[in-house]
């Protein structure tokens, strides 16, 4: 049985973060099944997009209007009456996180280039169905809130369901919570124990269909709390099945893990198959690299920007991961960002972004679906050296900003052919200036950035 915080954060070797109040939990087996992989060659290697480090913000427990912490707290307390974290004064929390704050948040993030994932819990804490009515709010208020999400959030953020209610498990045949009130019928805890991929897919598809009813795009899933932590292969397969069935998603992804220790946090490309056929497939596990150091899941646990990047810009978890060149994906919870109207978590995040941008000029804010697509292309594109200086690429998936380094000497210049047609490439002064359709010279290589099409392409590097 899972008894940690609402997400299982792996903190092995995180002694350097002890000042942030982090404990340690037992390491969890990823249970990754990679599937097919093409062979690698020494003459070429795939780099980060535009040679930059992807960064992203994962927002959990968000939805329309409902402050999930206010409504979920007594439901969690009902099944865990002895746990102190669920005995907080939830009646004093606001029941609503207003659309005015959503608008403010979206505008600031757009101004600063911030992107990521924003959950929409379809039936938040069983308060009401977002595709029907939300008791306590007028129908117009619900429709206006949904339209705000479509207009202000969707352009820069992935939308995920965070299962159905984030509290009680819903019987997908009746649309009602099961009668038993125990951890066995809570989404956060034991319901997924022993469940098959088909059973998980049925449940996730139920949530996805509600988002589809709301005309919200979706390419992935967020797990609430400990959902499916004991059936990880089934979670991956169920995500692949549900996202493809409901949304016909080409590259589904899911957010289950957050690691704050020495483990790699690169995305895990799983269950790759059919790479040379007409219907390639995979599912990508997105890994966050932080705990919630903003305001906690309940909006009552103030954090510190120093845990992510210190005021002198020299230390912190984000610095550690960015210096490794791995995607630095931040995790937080919407009630903690709003912090019961005090906006404590929001101010911490703003300061974190200010510090990151002051320290680095090589960050690239991306949504989770963009990161998932890039890593799928990075790991699954077959690259072959036909003759010296010429590489062919067979991509099962198209990928914007695909960045490739090819061994070259002296004044060698690249020539690109994609979809049977020559594609012009312009030289730029340095790798950080790369954008699609350009190239830069490295020490013993040329680095090319292109919008990689699905299918075959060829890159020839020869003396000019």
Residue 25 has pLDDT above 70, yes or no: no
Residue 394 has pLDDT above 50, yes or no: yes
Task: Give the three-class secondary structure for 455.
Answer: strand
- The β-bridge relationship of strands 455-463 and 390-395 is antiparallel
Q: Which of 182-196, 362-376, 406-420, 426-440 has the lowest mean pLDDT?
A: 406-420
Give the CATH number of domain 9-41+52-374. Answer: 3.20.20.370
pLDDT score, position 19: 36
Question: How would residue 30 be classed by pLDDT, with cut points 50, 70 and 90?
Answer: low
Residue 328 · residue 53 · CB < 8 Å: yes
Question: How would residue 317 be classed by pLDDT, with cut points 50, 70 and 90?
Answer: very high
User: Mean of the pLDDT values across residues 205-226?
Assistant: 98
Distances (CA, A) of 349 to 199, 315, 352: 37, 16, 5
- The β-bridge relationship of strands 220-222 and 176-177 is unpaired
pLDDT score, position 419: 81
Burial class, 419, CB count within 10 angstroms (exposed 0-12 / middle 13-18 / buried 19+) = exposed
Phi-psi region of 224 (alpha: psi -120 to 50; beta: other; left: phi over 0): beta
Q: What angle do CA 276, 280, 286 make, to 5 degrees?
A: 130
Q: How far apart are CA 209 and CA 245, in angstroms?
A: 10
pLDDT score, position 389: 79
Per-residue pLDDT tens digits for 404-427: 999 987 788 999 998 889 999 999
| H helical segments located in 311-461 | 317-324, 334-338, 344-359, 368-380
Per-residue pLDDT tens digits for 230-272: 999 999 999 999 999 999 999 999 999 999 999 999 999 999 9
User: Mean of the pLDDT values across residues 335-359?
Assistant: 98
- Phi and psi for 75 in degrees, rounded to 5? -70, -40
Rg for the chain (alpha carbons), in Å?
Answer: 23
pLDDT score, position 13: 35
User: Mean of the pLDDT values across residues 324-340?
Assistant: 98
pLDDT score, position 346: 98
pLDDT score, position 464: 61
- The rounded mean pLDDT for the chain is 92
Residue 14 has pLDDT above 50, yes or no: no
Question: How much of the chain, in percent, has pLDDT values that exceed 70?
Answer: 93
Residue 54 has pLDDT above 60, yes or no: yes
Q: Which of 71-75, 181-185, 355-359, 383-387 has the lowest mean pLDDT?
A: 383-387
Residue 16 has pLDDT above 90, yes or no: no
Stated as kind and residue range, the H or E segment containing 158 is: strand 157-160
Residue 433 has pLDDT above 80, yes or no: yes
Can you give the pTM of this predicted structure?
Answer: 0.94
């Amino acid at each position: 049985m899972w008894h940690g915080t609402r997400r299982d954060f792996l903190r092995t070797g995180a002694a350097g973060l002890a000042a942030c109040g982090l404990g340690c939990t037992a390491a969890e087996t990823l249970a990754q099944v990679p599937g097919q992989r093409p062979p690698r060659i020494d003459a070429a290697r795939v780099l980060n997009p535009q040679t930059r480090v992807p960064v992203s913000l994962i927002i959990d427990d968000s939805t329309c209007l409902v402050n999930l912490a206010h409504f979920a707290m007594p439901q969690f307390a009902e099944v865990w009456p002895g746990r102190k974290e669920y005995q907080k004064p939830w009646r004093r929390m606001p029941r609503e996180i207003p659309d005015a704050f959503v608008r403010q948040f979206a505008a600031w993030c757009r101004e600063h280039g911030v992107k990521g994932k924003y959950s929409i819990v379809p039936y938040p804490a069983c308060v009401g169905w977002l595709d029907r009515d939300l008791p306590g709010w007028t129908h117009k208020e619900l429709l206006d809130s949904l339209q705000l999400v479509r207009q202000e959030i969707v352009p820069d953020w992935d939308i995920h369901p965070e299962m159905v209610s984030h509290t009680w498990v819903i019987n997908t045949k009746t649309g009602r919570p099961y009668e038993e009130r125990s951890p066995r019928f809570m989404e956060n805890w034991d319901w997924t124990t022993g469940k098959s991929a088909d059973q998980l897919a049925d449940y996730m598809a139920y949530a996805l269909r509600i988002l589809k009813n709301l005309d919200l795009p979706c390419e992935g899933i967020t797990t609430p709390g400990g959902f499916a932590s004991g059936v990880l292969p089934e979670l991956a397969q169920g995500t692949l099945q549900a996202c493809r069935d409901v949304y016909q998603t080409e590259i589904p992804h899911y957010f289950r893990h957050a690691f704050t220790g020495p483990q790699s946090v690169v995305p895990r490309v799983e269950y790759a198959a059919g790479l040379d056929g007409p219907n390639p497939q995979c599912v990508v596990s997105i890994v966050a690299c932080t705990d919630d150091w903003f305001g906690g899941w309940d909006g009552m646990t103030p954090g510190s920007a120093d845990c992510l990047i210190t005021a002198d810009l020299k230390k912190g978890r984000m610095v550690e991961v960015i210096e490794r060149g791995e995607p630095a994906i931040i995790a937080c919870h919407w009630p903690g960002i709003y912090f019961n109207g005090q906006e404590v978590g929001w101010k911490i995040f703003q300061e974190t972004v200010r510090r990151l941008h002051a320290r680095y000029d090589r960050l690239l804010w991306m949504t989770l679906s963009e990161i998932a697509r890039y890593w799928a292309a990075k790991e699954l594109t077959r690259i072959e050296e036909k003759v010296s200086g010429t590489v062919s690429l067979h991509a099962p998936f198209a990928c914007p900003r695909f960045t490739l380094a090819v061994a070259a000497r002296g004044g060698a210049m690249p020539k690109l052919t994609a979809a049977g047609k020559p594609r012009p490439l312009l030289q730029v002064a340095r790798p950080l200036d790369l954008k699609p359709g350009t190239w830069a010279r490295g020490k013993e290589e040329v680095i090319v950035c292109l919008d990689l099409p699905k299918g075959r392409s060829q890159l020839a590097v020869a003396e000019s």
